[in-house]
Structure 1
Amino acid sequence: MFNLLEHPVQPADLPGELAGQQQHIDRQFRRTLSAAGEERHAAFGELAWLIAVHETIEEEVIHPITRHLDPAEHLAEHLLDEERRISEALDDMVRVDAAANLGEVDGLAVLHQMLTTHIRRELREEFPRLRLAVAAGELQDLGDVVRVAQARAVAESPVRPGVPQASLQVRDVLRPTWQQVSA
């Protein structure tokens, strides 16, 4: 079985920051899968928020760079399609959780497998390309932007919002900063 914790993380740059987030998501998945009742509900709320924030950051920052680096290969579009399917599965699980039926582990396990497959692809295909094509200093700056955006989103909402609100909140924080860096 693929274990994200086996992969080295360089938390200073953008790919390293995102890999660190992926590891955090994987740990939270494991906590959610092993919990029950109200503990599972709370763990899943945190998990859904983490996934939404992570995927929003990728959509706003990393995939546009990937698309720009190699538009003919369509890697960014394939990753965005995977993320759309993950978001749909996550939305389904949020509805199940809202109906107080998160006792079913099958849906969570499927979502975990989808996300693990997607993460594997990013670690294998997308992140190495970024490190080869983008200057280390720029990747460092982008990692800083992502950390600041995520920290501000957390600070502005100490109680985790729902998935759509998390995405909107991170976009609102990330876009102005990202536009300043990319200008």
Structure 2
Amino acid sequence: MAEHDVIELLTAQHGQIRDLFDEVEQAPPDKVEEAFGRLTRMLCVHETAEEEIVHPYARRKLDNGPGVVADRLTEENRAKRLLLDLHRAGVDDARFWEGLAELRTAVMEHAHSEERDEFARLRERTSEAERRAMAAAVRVAESLAPTRPHPGTESAAANLLLATPLAVADRARELIRKALGRH
């Protein structure tokens, strides 16, 4: 069912994100950057898909939908900024672990709010067919999403205009780094 219901899919991804934080925290020093890269990628594609597919639907379907979504976007922007700061500083920065803990708290609080305030209400207001269609759309959005943080692209319109070019640039950057032997 997780593959076919958008709420189950995104909730399962919240669990994967929690696991990826654990992976970064438990990684040996020479594997932290690689683990942090996987976490970053997951966070970025997950949030982009929510911003493009789920939030616009929630705006229309939920009572006070615009308010619910505005709160989630504020949380997402904060997390993107924290993630970007961590990337700019790098995993060897003295404040990396403190910043990672702050990011984890922000992301997990956001996920909890999303599950409680948006997903639970969406489940009540949508049919199984609607949730299945959104799950398929989320998968497509994730395949085209940027893999690095880009604060300021929290709206569906900004994502639709910028996500694909940013995703191409991010994926090209990843290929170049791999070719040069850097993760």
Give your verdict on TM over 0.5. Answer: yes
CA distance, structure 2, for counterparts of residue 19 and residue 162 of structure 1: 21
CA distance, structure 2, for counterparts of residue 95 and residue 172 of structure 1: 22
2:49 match: 57
CA distance, structure 2, for counterparts of residue 13 and residue 134 of structure 1: 11
1:113 match: 105
Question: 2:80, 2:149 within 8 Å by CA — same for their partners in 1?
Answer: no
Question: 2:144, 2:163 within 8 Å by CA — same for their partners in 1?
Answer: no
1:86 match: 79
Q: May I ask how many residue pairs the two structures share in their alignment?
A: 156
- RMSD (CA atoms): 2.7
1:31 matched to 2:23: yes
Question: 1:41, 1:102 within 8 Å by CA — same for their partners in 2?
Answer: no
Change (3 A) 1:139 1:171: farther
Change (3 A) 1:13 1:127: same
Question: 2:59, 2:69 within 8 Å by CA — same for their partners in 1?
Answer: yes
Gaps of 5+ in 1: 1-8, 155-159, 174-183
Partner SS, residue 10 of structure 1: coil
Deviation at 1:12, TM superposition (A): 2.0
Question: 2:58, 2:122 within 8 Å by CA — same for their partners in 1?
Answer: yes
Question: 1:13, 1:143 within 8 Å by CA — same for their partners in 2?
Answer: yes
Deviant stretches of 4+, over 3 Å: 70-73, 160-164, 167-173
CA deviation map 1:106-133 (0-9, x unaligned): 1101100111101001111111111111
1:45 match: 37
CA distance, structure 1, for counterparts of residue 144 and residue 16 of structure 2: 17
Letter in 1 for 2:30: E
Letter in 1 for 2:29: G
1:96 match: 89
Using the size of structure 1 for normalisation, the TM-score is 0.74
Change (3 A) 1:30 1:102: farther
Question: 2:5, 2:131 within 8 Å by CA — same for their partners in 1?
Answer: yes
Deviation at 1:64, TM superposition (A): 0.8
Question: 1:17, 1:143 within 8 Å by CA — same for their partners in 2?
Answer: yes
Aligned residues: percent identity? 28
CA deviation map 1:70-122 (0-9, x unaligned): 36350100000010101100100111217x32773111011001111010011
Matches within 5 A, 1:133-144: 133-144=125-136
2:68 match: 75
Partner SS, residue 79 of structure 2: helix
2:5 match: 13
CA distance, structure 1, for counterparts of residue 106 and residue 164 of structure 2: 27
Letter in 1 for 2:25: L
Gaps of 5+ in 2: 154-158, 166-183
